[in-house]
Structure 1
């Protein structure tokens, strides 16, 4: 039996949805210790997926894209990442399923080859890199002539962008607020890209400046105050600004509450509704988690979690029969 444990991720922002100098996308993100996805797999005569019904279709489709002809697999989804909330569940489900087939049948493919086979990473490469190595990640996007359009990963067919920078993330507690609603996805997500892109070049330049000259140095120097300031700044500019603007009021209230009550930086991951806040200590993080849980209970509903970064990729264990 093969067992795979894969991580969720925060997507802090896309960088360039203007493409004037020839590249598009790019982004920064943080791999998370929890919530995560866990599945087990064994060889079978047909394709069978047990467990989480929401992700079953994606897992089945991904497995079929890798399976040798006339072979099957039985996959049991034992733990899932909430879907369409901004934690990267689609990428982890697809790559985990592909990795299971890869291990069961000894195909010898790399993580990036698996990502290409299942069509993930066509806009953001953060989820693929999180599966591969974890940590804090910066990817370099794609040549616009190869991609040809502003579009989300689910509607893009280019390989994941190159990882330009990867660093262990400090042991800073991270509070997650997972509101009881869904973020933009599928056709709605495609429509948003069409509506707001290209992003004005000056905003793209501002995003790049904040990442290069504030966020990355703060990360390397473990300067929480400056890293938090960069996170806060990124909520107000570029494509992230547009992602923030479409959030329901209770989600925006949590972003501000975290910032006012102990989080050095807070923001929305991907299209949301997940809000994250980075705290200075476990006691501060737990206090903030409890307060945010009360906010969710009194408004939109949902769950507040306390986690931290995961500085390693997915875990694959077991072997061939």
Structure 2
């Protein structure tokens, strides 16, 4: 019996509390996207082999996905105490280490395919614990389970005592404290410039250690914006207020650090999308993916992003929110 799963990328709008004085760390705000998406097919009686249906994929992407798939598969099979191996075919993929959450999505997708093949029912949080995801942000796990606009509550300092990215944290995925459908008629423009200044691994760990704790006053200001501006604007479908909130959080807390450490092209793309009429624009996670929201002129904003990337190249597209989780067939 073959299995197939479709899951989506996500935007990580901001981490909330990298101060910890109130007794919790992390917390996050994110949004699930319809595109780009990940589609993986599993075939039984295999050798944990990974094939790629798409042609002309970059070697770095193939290597990264293959490693993530092998690790997630081995963890899941060990948990199930199973020797039954599958092969995996990647029918569609999106860039790794781009700020769109590929690591969590591919790991959860593999765990879901294997557990489903074994007729074992588990929710996304159980799968995340098995494959070691969600140790800082819970946005990717909640996107896989629910989709939509998500706020997670971070980790108690009783469980997580230090500032670490998800890749280096063994904490359990954090609780979702708010989840709303995001207006599907709001267009989201995503641009991923082709730059090498990507942040992951040991480099990401070092950044957390160097720049944290974030001053409490900035965390409190950010929390106020999220609670009293961003969240209500999603519920009331007020794109102007939502855009203002996005723009404000670019200059506060850990997001300010993430922006500071990225390539100057990031600022240029964001500024050009805003000047073309986007209600709000920002960088997802550590980038290099950037995004803008609009309900009026998405093609103009897309053109502005592409023109800014003319000299270096990159991917740009118009998409919308996805208000449902991963689909298993």
TM range (shorter): over 0.9
Residue aligning to 2:55: none
With 70-79 and 10-19 compared, the bigger mean Cα shift is at 70-79
**How far apart are residue 45 of structure 1 and its match?**
4.6
Count of residue correspondences: 314
SS in 2 for 1:123: coil
Residue aligning to 1:47: 48
Matched, 1:10 2:11: yes
| Contact 2:246–2:281 (Cα < 8 Å) also in 1 | yes
Matched, 1:313 2:325: yes
Task: Pick from 253, 256, 272 the counterpart of residue 241 of structure 1.
Answer: 256
Residue aligning to 1:176: 190
**Map 1:131-280 → 2, pairs under 5 A:** 131-171=144-184, 172-182=186-196, 183-280=198-295
Residue aligning to 1:291: 304
Deviations 1:171-227 (CA, angstroms, capped at 9, x unpaired): 200011111025210001000000000000000001100000000111111100000
Deviations 1:253-276 (CA, angstroms, capped at 9, x unpaired): 011111111110000000001110
Task: Pick from 81, 92, 95 the counterpart of residue 82 of structure 1.
Answer: 95
| Contact 2:123–2:145 (Cα < 8 Å) also in 1 | no
Q: 2:42, 2:22 → 1: CA distance?
A: 45
Q: 2:317, 2:225 → 1: CA distance?
A: 28
Q: 1:268, 1:61 → 2: CA distance?
A: 28
Residue aligning to 1:59: 69
Matched, 1:111 2:124: yes
| Contact 1:178–1:275 (Cα < 8 Å) also in 2 | yes
Q: CA RMSD in A?
A: 1.0
With 51-60 and 123-132 compared, the bigger mean Cα shift is at 51-60
**Could you tell me the TM-score, scaled by structure 2's length?**
0.94
Q: 2:119, 2:160 → 1: CA distance?
A: 31
| Contact 2:276–2:300 (Cα < 8 Å) also in 1 | no
| Contact 1:42–1:104 (Cα < 8 Å) also in 2 | no
Residue aligning to 2:56: none
SS in 1 for 2:135: coil
Segments of 4+ moved more than 3 angstroms: none
**Could you tell me the TM-score, scaled by structure 1's length?**
0.96
SS in 1 for 2:28: strand
Q: 1:98, 1:262 → 2: CA distance?
A: 41
Residue aligning to 1:302: 314
| Contact 2:272–2:308 (Cα < 8 Å) also in 1 | no
